[in-house]
Structure formats: structure tokens, C-alpha cells
């Protein structure tokens, strides 16, 4: 596992982040605590140190698992979590969205579940379309100065709002915006036109979710099959619905066959060539081991061209 600096933070994070959406069983689909422990141990053994979770994952159980699993080794990891969605099915509207009240209330609850006194990287999970950007950044700065979080980032915000937020931080002398998180895979590449050059220009770390297209790039779901059983009805799943998608999936399968790799490994290795930090989200040890192997793969320029 190699490491890279995350934006302008000075944090040295592993080139693959461990997403823990599947740590927990409250969505009726995910890993039990002991399976999660084994996966975290294996991720750490391979050099991984960047954990991505959210207060909404498994209705808070993902954070609860991590609170238990990180006891005694908290400082070995960069711990990132998010707020804005619902940590419980009946969550009040006052603890969802991007308001400062939601931010502070959600953070305090996450700190308790995670059994820690601070979050290394705190994300707004998604824009609520009503809270002004300057209010969000002021709230983040207050939490940073209070020592509750070290850095802040924006997930799934439009590029213009990310640029606005980074500019506000610079103008006001706030702690610089640390990074952005967006969807990206060989099937979903729109972020390369704005987010990728923006991250490079503004010194932002860039993490990406769903590098496997929600599973379709594994090669297991073909020809429009969209019945995959997963939490929230296949969140992030990109069904094979047109000839362009079919061509991309076929290219991934061809490269995998030529290189004696799995399609998942090819898809993740390709993502890493774009300078991003893919977030893998395994549910089983077999999936984790398969995904982690991508860190040791160097695709040839010919194979990258074929996938591009």
C-alpha cells in the first residue's frame, strides 16, 4: 500500500480508503461485528489507514462498530465521518440537512458512537440546497477551533459550491477546505471535467465512492439486470442499460482476462490512475482481499487507453 498527502492537510493517507457502509446489520444487509473486525484487521495489515463512514450508515451501527473496533488503536487511522442524512429512521428534521444545529448535534452523537474525542475529517454528506455555503464553512471553523474536528470536506456538492467554499476559507483565514468526495468509476466519469482539475488547482484531496459502479463492474450483473439485493435497493448501482455501458464493461472484462485479474481489481486500479482515492466498501473478507489487491496492480498504458 502506498500513501499520498490529502490535499493541503499534511495527512498521509493510504491510496485506498475503507468504506464501512456494510459494517452493521440494521439495514438487514451487511457484516456482523466479528466479520467487520477481521476486515479492519486485514485492511490495517495491508497498510490501510483511511476509514470512511457516516452517521447514516446502518442507522449509526457502522459508527458503533468502529467505536468498538478502534479501541486501543485509534491513532493508527485517519477517521472520517459525515452528517446530513438520518442516523435513525425517525430522525428529527432538525438533525438532518446542513444547518449548524444539525452539524453540532450530529457530531456529538457521532463522537459518542465512535468513542473518540475528535473526528479527523468531517464531511457534509450532501447539500441540502437551503443552508448557505458561508454558514456551513463558519460552522466547520468553529468545530475545528473547538478541537472537535481537525479538517472538513464536502461530499457530492456541485463544483461551483466547492470552489466558493474553498475561496471563503482563504478570504476569511479559516482552515483550508480539506477535500471533496464524489462518485467516480470507469462508467461514471463526469467528475473528471470539473472536479479533477479543480481539486488539483485548489489543493483539495479527492475521494471517490462506488468505483465498481455499485457492483456492475464486477461482471456479475449483465444485460440490464438490476435486481441486486443491497441496502436501499442497490444504492449506487449502475445497471447495464445501453451499448456504451456494455462496451465499457466488456473492456474491463477483456483487460481482466488479459492480465489474469478480477474485473473489480481492474476497475479500482484504473480509478487510481486518475489520482483519486477510491473508497472500497466490502461486505465480506473475500471482497476486501480482492479489492485490496488492486493496490499492487500497475496497468499498462495500452490497457488504460482501452478502458478510457
3-state secondary structure of 300: coil
Q: Are 103 and 141 in contact (CB under 8 A)?
A: no
3-state secondary structure of 278: strand
Count of other CB atoms within 10 angstroms of residue 60? 22
Orientation of helix 100-114 relative to helix 61-69, angle to 10°: 40
- Count the residues in the chain: 308
**What cell numbers appear for 202 in the block?**
485548489
Please name every residue paired with 207 in a beta bridge, in sequence order, or none if there are none. Answer: 181, 277
Beta pairing, strands 12-14 & 3-5: antiparallel
Q: Are 51 and 20 in contact (CB under 8 A)?
A: yes
3-state secondary structure of 119: strand
From CA 87, how far away is CA 58, in angstroms rounded?
8
Place of cell 466519469: 189
Annotated catalytic residue 57: yes
Task: Count Cα atoms within 13 angstroms, Cβ side, for 83.
Answer: 28
Helix H or strand E encompassing 135: helix 133-145
**What cell numbers appear for 39 in the block?**
476486515
Question: Which residue among the candidates 57, 59, 151, 174 is catalytic per the annotation?
Answer: 57
Place of cell 446489520: 25
User: Which positions are annotated as active-site residues?
Assistant: 57
Amino acid at each position: 500500500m502506498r500513501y499520498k498527502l490529502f490535499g493541503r492537510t499534511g495527512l498521509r493517507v493510504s491510496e485506498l480508503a475503507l468504506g464501512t457502509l456494510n459494517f452493521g446489520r440494521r439495514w438487514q444487509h451487511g457484516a456482523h461485528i466479528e466479520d467487520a473486525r477481521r476486515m479492519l484487521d486485514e485492511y490495517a495489515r495491508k497498510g490501510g489507514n483511511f476509514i470512511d463512514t457516516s452517521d447514516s450508515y446502518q442507522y449509526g451501527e457502522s459508527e458503533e462498530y468502529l467505536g468498538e473496533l478502534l479501541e486501543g488503536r485509534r491513532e493508527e487511522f485517519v477517521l472520517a465521518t459525515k452528517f446530513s442524512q438520518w442516523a435513525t429512521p425517525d430522525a428529527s428534521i432538525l438533525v438532518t440537512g446542513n444547518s449548524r444545529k444539525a452539524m453540532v448535534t450530529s457530531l456529538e452523537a457521532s463522537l459518542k458512537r465512535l468513542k473518540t474525542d475528535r473526528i479527523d475529517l468531517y464531511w457534509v454528506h450532501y447539500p441540502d440546497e437551503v443552508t448557505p455555503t458561508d454558514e456551513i464553512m463558519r460552522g466547520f471553523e468553529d468545530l475545528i477551533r473547538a478541537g472537535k474536528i481537525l479538517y472538513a470536506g464536502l461530499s457530492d456538492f456541485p463544483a461551483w459550491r466547492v470552489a466558493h467554499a474553498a475561496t471563503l476559507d482563504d478570504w476569511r483565514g479559516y482552515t483550508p477546505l480539506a477535500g471533496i468526495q464524489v462518485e467516480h468509476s470507469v462508467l461514471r466519469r463526469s467528475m473528471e471535467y470539473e472536479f479533477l482539475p479543480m481539486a488539483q488547482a485548489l489543493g483539495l484531496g479527492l475521494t471517490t465512492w462506488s468505483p465498481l459502479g455499485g457492483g456492475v463492474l464486477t461482471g456479475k450483473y449483465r444485460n440490464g439486470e438490476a435486481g441486486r439485493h443491497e441496502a436501499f435497493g442497490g444504492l449506487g448501482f449502475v445497471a447495464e442499460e445501453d451499448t456504451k455501458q456494455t462496451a465499457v464493461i466488456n473492456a474491463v472484462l477483456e483487460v481482466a482476462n488479459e492480465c489474469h485479474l478480477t474485473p473489480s481489481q481492474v476497475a479500482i486500479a484504473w480509478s487510481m490512475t486518475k489520482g483519486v482515492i477510491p473508497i472500497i466498501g466490502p461486505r465480506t473478507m473475500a471482497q476486501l482481499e480482492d479489492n485490496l489487491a488492486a493496490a499492487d496492480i500497475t496497468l499498462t498504458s495500452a490497457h488504460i487507453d482501452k478502458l478510457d
